[in-house]
Amino acid sequence: MRILIATASRHGSTRELGQWLGSALTARLSDTATAATVDVRDAAEVDSIAEYDAVVLGSGVYMGRWLGDARSLVAREQSELETRPVWLFSSGPIGSGTPPTAKSKWSEASWAIEHKVFGGKLDRSTLSLFERAVVRMINAGDGDDRSRAEVDEWAGDISGVLAKRLSPSTSAVDRDSSPEKGPSS
């Protein structure tokens, strides 16, 4: 089984979430004796998802939108995404002012099993002049609201679905049918 984790990250914190998820997912699948290769790549570097059996796609959220590289990947690979298990995640909320369950158009992607929202990281020293002005306008401070434990827990959920799909006790009909859609978060 080949699994792609593709991320769109402006300053690297969403990419780091993808790397955490890749490590945790590899460990969890190994624990269930599921033979899998997990590739963590930048969304901009993904030409095709045809060779992957499952996909996790994540993006930083800026001003309520996914980054262009993630949106482009979805637009380009939409028909392929609809044929395999897909999980989505967004990264960006900082502090108590932004609810971690904020909805986006990706929460409504019927072809995805789940959309997870993780806290974000803000380090003003890495921002452009425009980004610093926006941060100043919304009165946001530096911080890191990402949780490695939350990422690890989600990796467990994903590995459970994938292991079940590949289980010898699962009939070929069950494996070939589209995955049951879970609740969006």
Nearest-angstrom CA–CA distance, 117 and 24: 17
Burial class (CB in 10 A: 0-12, 13-18, 19+), 150: middle
81-108 pLDDT, tens digit per residue, is 999 999 999 987 665 544 444 445 555 6
Nearest-angstrom CA–CA distance, 120 and 14: 8
53-83 pLDDT, tens digit per residue, is 999 999 988 778 899 999 999 999 999 999 9
Distances (CA, A) of 162 to 26, 42, 103, 178: 12, 22, 25, 12
Band (pLDDT 50/70/90 cuts) for residue 154 is: very high
List of residues 6+ apart from 33 with CB closer than 8 A: none
List of residues 6+ apart from 99 with CB closer than 8 A: 93
pTM score of the predicted model: 0.78
- Which letter does DSSP use for residue 104 in this model? -
Nearest-angstrom CA–CA distance, 103 and 93: 11
